[in-house]
Chains A and B, each alone.
Chain A
Amino acid sequence: MLTISLILLPLIASLILFALNGRKELHYWALGVSIAELALGVAAVVGFDKGIALNYLFDMPWITSMGIRFSLGMSGISVLLVLLTVALVPLIILTTVNGSTKYSATFYGLILLMQSALVGVFTSSDGFLFYIFWEMALIPIYFICGLWGGENKIKITIKFFIYTMFGSLLMLAALIWLYLHTPLSHNFNIDALLAVQLPFNEQVLVFVALFIAFAIKIPVFPFHSWQPNTYVVAPSAGSMLLAGIMLKMGLYGILRFLIPSCSEVALQYAPVVMVLAITGLLYGSIIAIRQKEIKRLIAYSSFAHVGLITAAIFAFNADALQGSVYQMIAHGFNVMALFFVADIIQRRTNTLQISDLGGIAKVAPKFAIFFMIVMLGSVALPLTNGFIGEFLMLVGLAKYSISVAAIAGVSIVLGAVYMFWMYQRSMYGNPTTATANFPDLTCNEMWVAIPLIIIIIAMGVYPKPLLEIAKPAVENILLVMSTKY
């Protein structure tokens, strides 16, 4: 029941919000719902039984003639991603609550609808259902970006929409292909889909289709070109949803579908994926060095980070997988916090050009501390959340090959280069005309900043509980791979 409640609560709330669009000041209502949802999510984590592969099962017949069931359940990885989703959404809603911009009820409805779909993606046990939620998640973000975005929003949003839609169709084709190979009468249950043993050359096709679908979402080089523009044009809440949670759908898809269904090809093609992912990692990092606009810099940095996560997944060992799962969560919080920083700067100064900024640390010390901690998490300083994931991933990559780890490790140096550069230019020096009257964090903003600081540090100091939740799921993936071939 827990899982279905997690999906239904925001879904119903979003419908009510759509109906009430005429009314203003409904953000607290949305916030209340998301906090209730957070409570459910925390309950799911606390009550999670590590001994069982899938917790909180929910199952009922849906389209029986095609073997489609409405079945849900959470593995250790799912429950962590659900936790990320339910923890980020209230924070994201809080960031929109400020004097200057007013969002209508529809906006909050869309956020909650998206949350519902995301939880659905992370908990589906049925391939068809997974696909439905996957597409359902796309629609709200399309409207959020298309209606509330910045300059050129329509063009950029449509490109993003079509690009990911194209990937989704490939995924659908692959799912149907797998479905047709399930024993009669066919069914869409994920376990059944994953049990399908395809001959190698057919597996390659399925692998390529699924990989492109997920690679666009993550994004993996060279399927990333929708990303920088979309992040820049989206309203901050949209960028947070996209980078914080939505791209994890792609990574989750790799773990849930791609690797178990095509383990043989995955193993054989791992070097190819590794090259793409690490190219993206360095490529994104190097491009970030010279970005002049904060959001675009964050976009490239995020692109680099997920490159490392992807590479680590394809190292196929326990440390690397644990690290990538942990980093998915950590990156979600960190990138959300970075977009929050960008949002604060943009609202106060009407600019995101780094050259227009400077001296903010002088006038807004609390904000400076917050930004500093977020940056440290992002550059993976020990005792912040970023370090745990990156360390485990690099350890895992080193097991795969020490030279791959060395090349990937260069990104931690590059990360320091661009993040410290951005911090220095925007926060230090003398205040400019744009920043001379920069107000420090407001009370509302503190409500976002303080939880984020606590999360960044707590996840870095005591990662054990979350790692232990992920552990059985990670081992299960490796087990499936080793038993299948």
Chain B
Amino acid sequence: MNTLVALVPILPLLSFIVLGLNFKRLPKVVTSLMACGSVLVSFVLAVVLFFHVKEAGTAVNVTLFEWLPTASSSMGFSFVVDPISSLMILIVTGVGFLIHVYSIGYMFNDEGFNRFFAYMNLFVFSMLVLVLGSNYLMMFIGWEGVGLCSYLLIGFWFKNHDYNNAAKKAFIMNRIGDLGFLLGMFVLYYQFGSLDYQTVFAKATLLESGNMTLTIATMLLFVGAIGKSAQIPLFTWLPDAMAGPTPVSALIHAATMVTAGVYMVVRSQALFVLAPTTLMVIAIVGIITALFAATIAIFQNDIKKVLAYSTVSQLGYMFVGLGMGAFTGAMFHLTTHAFFKALLFLAAGSVIHAMSGEQDIRKMGGLRKAVPITWLVFLIGTIAISGIPPFSGFFSKDEILLHAFEHNKIIWVLGIVGSLMTAFYMFRLFFLTFAGTFRGSDTQKHHLHESPKSMTVPLAILAILSVFGGLINIPGVFGGSSELHMFLSPMYSAGKEVIVEVSHSTEILLMIIAVLGAIAMIAFAWFRFVKMAAIPISNDAKRPLFTNLLYHKYYIDEVYAFLIEKPMLWLSGILHWFDVQIVDRAVNSLGNSILWLGTKARPLQTGNIGFYMIVMVLSIVAFMVFGLMI
């Protein structure tokens, strides 16, 4: 069993190394086989491990070697497979494998084909280390590793400096979060003398709720989650990250990496439940992000940007779930979101492929006939994310909202509002893309084609998962047994996961409200974009004030540039000037003044004996006077 655990991350790593060393030589077939094969084998191993954990009910711990000895403890290079990590590796390798396969078709004509797969494998390795690590430092390795891969893949087409800037922005914003993570680790390290999950959690449960140190530590860890999971205020990198190839957006910026923040909080559940203040902050940040991003999504016209803001918004929901104590709900939504959002992105990729690279939905329309499979799977994904039963998104979102209803009615209302917006902007996107008539150029029209099998088969599988993914956690009200909850609950510190006590009738009522609302929004979107065939106005057209604000994403980027970037550059210039003109000058003038003293002192050495005698006598007198005085 131990070897299997180690192999899960090591296989993609090996594939990365081989690809990285031979990226110029390997034929595409070999690359595809190796890159996808390694992830597939990891997936099979993950399945085996998953069932092992499920049956045995115990975690598997593996320490490869002692990594970083510190004064009071020692960080092992070690992995743990327990319910939560076994679920995560299933998602990472499973969805990861499908996206790898899809990429063969998507990237086939790209000159950087081998490089692309090398990076993708490195990403899978890093992500697996992130979720498998058995201490915070291991998580941090993966944490920064996925950030690096994200950087490399966003800027994959590195001739374009806009893409490079997007990549750099992603890395730097993530680094800001990482600093929070680091500081959080330091607090934990000094509080508990270790960074091992087991030790930390065991010792933490002895503390009482609201403990100051824990509050600080969890807040700092959450800063890390904000960066990685693109929450307010560090979310602006994610929409820009769409510069990367679409499979990257699907894998990294929708299904896996961006959910790392959620994973981290669930993993640290034992700490967070003892910090109610932090949980409240998480819920507030989550709900604001969810709404904020949803409002922006309504006015975007780039198919990937809409999905990106939708991802930010959905991540917000996961954090609302965490803040409300619905740890399983968050994990559940993480899982279903991985399915349907990967599906949506890949389907969008298929659309972009068909449209010869066009991403503006104003130039699409009527694509249903040209790309029927893509149409169907996109529809499935859209229904799933809009929360229509019995698709997967309905169940997971419902669980989060139910918890919100139980704990905080305001957040629940806002959550419902957000989910209505979600239904609207997703169907707006869907209708503008697939319904109506084609609005692109003739060449584009001529080129329209359904994608190859390597792309449509993964789409089909993801579509099936998006439909039935909800089955893993059917709530009691529908006669289910909340399987996922049963599976994950041994992870939680005893009795700390909040049990919802809403009656079944209330629960049903809440669901009906949400579903009816969503259907109404879909109808509205249909009315507006199909019946009235409204097309969003062009970029430079004048917009009403509020719409304009949303269209320009609340000018957040501009605000950051004004508040942070500009002052920083200005400061850099000022300090450089100070360094050269003041610090260095001071040193130089010290040197010069000594030279100057030397030139002034030189005439004293006149060679005139008489002058020397006078000075000597005067000195003696002076000394004598001085001696008499004291």
Contacts and interface: CB of A to CB of B under 8 A. Distances in A.
Interface of A: 159, 162-163, 222, 224-226, 228, 283, 286-291, 317-319, 322, 359, 361-362, 365, 369, 376, 381-383, 388, 391-392, 394-395, 398-399, 402, 405-406, 409-410, 412-413, 416-417, 420-421, 424, 427-430, 461-464, 467-468
Contacts, number: 133
Contact of B158 (A394, A412, A428): A428
A406 B145 CA distance: 22
B183 A289 contact: no
Interface in B141-174: 141, 144-145, 148, 151, 155, 158-161, 164-165, 167-168, 171-172
B182 A409 contact: yes
B41 interface: no
A68 to B, nearest CB: 31
B66 A464 contact: yes
A290 B159 contact: no
A293 to B, nearest CB: 12
A183 B164 CA distance: 66
B190 interface: yes
B569 interface: yes
B243 to A, nearest CB: 12
Nearest to A303: B579
Given A362-B159, A398-B190, A429-B159, A410 B179 contact: yes
A482 to B, nearest CB: 14
A289 B23 CA distance: 33
A424 B161 contact: yes
A465 B573 CA distance: 43
Contacts of A417: 172
Contacts of B159: 359, 362, 428-430
A319 B571 CA distance: 33
A317 B71 contact: yes
Given A376-B148, A424-B168, A428-B155, A416 B576 contact: no
Nearest to A380: B144
Contacts of B164: 424, 428-429
A413 B67 contact: no
Given A225-B583, A391-B68, A283 B190 contact: no
A318 B70 CA distance: 8
Contacts of B201: none
A126 B573 CA distance: 45
6 contacts: A224-B583, A287-B576, A365-B24, A420-B172, A429-B160, A463-B68
Interface in B574-601: 575-576, 579, 583-584, 587-588, 591
A265 to B, nearest CB: 25
Nearest to B152: A372
Contacts of A290: 569, 572-573, 576
A286 B570 CA distance: 10
A230 to B, nearest CB: 12
B434 interface: no
Shortest 4 CB-CB contacts between residues of A and residues of B = A398-B186, A225-B584, A318-B71, A428-B158
A159 B591 contact: yes
Interface string B183-194: 100110110000
B53 interface: no
B161 A286 contact: no
A293 B81 CA distance: 48
Contacts of B67: 461-464
A162 B590 CA distance: 12
B610 interface: no
B140 interface: yes
A90 B160 CA distance: 39
A355 to B, nearest CB: 13
Contacts of B353: none
Contact of A286 (B70, B571, B583): B571
Contacts of B160: 429
Given A287-B572, A287-B576, A417-B172, A468 B69 contact: yes
Given A289-B572, A410-B179, A429 B24 contact: no
Interface string B45-83: 000000000000000000001111111000000000000
A416 B172 contact: yes
A163 B70 contact: no
A410 B164 CA distance: 23
A395 B71 CA distance: 10
A289 B583 contact: no
A162 B584 CA distance: 14
B176 interface: yes
Contacts of A412: 175, 178-179, 182
B314 to A, nearest CB: 27
B549 interface: no
A409 B160 CA distance: 31
B158 A429 contact: yes
B498 interface: no
Given A322-B71, A382-B140, A413 B176 contact: yes
B212 interface: no
Contact of B68 (A286, A361, A388, A420): A388
A428 B568 contact: no
A412 B176 CA distance: 9
Contacts of B587: 159, 163, 225-226
Nearest to A388: B68
Nearest to B65: A462
A468 B71 CA distance: 11
Nearest to A361: B158
A26 B161 CA distance: 45
A409 B224 CA distance: 13
Contacts of A381: 144-145, 148
A215 B579 CA distance: 17
Contacts of B140: 382
Q: Which of B23, B71, B167, B576 has the most CB of A within 10 A?
A: B71
A429 to B, nearest CB: 5
Contacts of A399: 186, 190
A413 B172 contact: yes
Contact of B175 (A369, A413, A463, A467): A413
A395 B573 CA distance: 31
A402 B70 contact: no
Contacts of A286: 568, 571-572, 575
B334 to A, nearest CB: 24
Given A286-B575, A365-B23, A420-B171, 6 more contacts: A286-B568, A290-B572, A318-B71, A394-B182, A429-B164, A468-B69
Interface in B514-558: none
B572 A416 contact: no
A421 B591 contact: no
Nearest to A282: B575
A368 B68 CA distance: 29
A276 to B, nearest CB: 12
A268 to B, nearest CB: 23
B511 to A, nearest CB: 44
Residue in B65, B159, B591 with the greatest tally of chain A CB atoms within 10 Å = B159
Contacts of A382: 137, 140-141, 144-145
Contacts of B23: 365
A409 B179 contact: yes
B591 A402 contact: no
Given A406-B183, A420-B168, A319 B71 contact: yes
A353 to B, nearest CB: 16
Contacts of A163: 587
A225 B190 CA distance: 38
A416 B175 contact: yes
A405 B186 contact: yes
Contacts of A224: 583
Given A405-B183, A409-B179, A412-B179, A395 B189 contact: yes
A464 B69 contact: yes
A283 to B, nearest CB: 6
Nearest to A369: B20
Contacts of A162: 591
A342 B140 CA distance: 31
A296 to B, nearest CB: 10
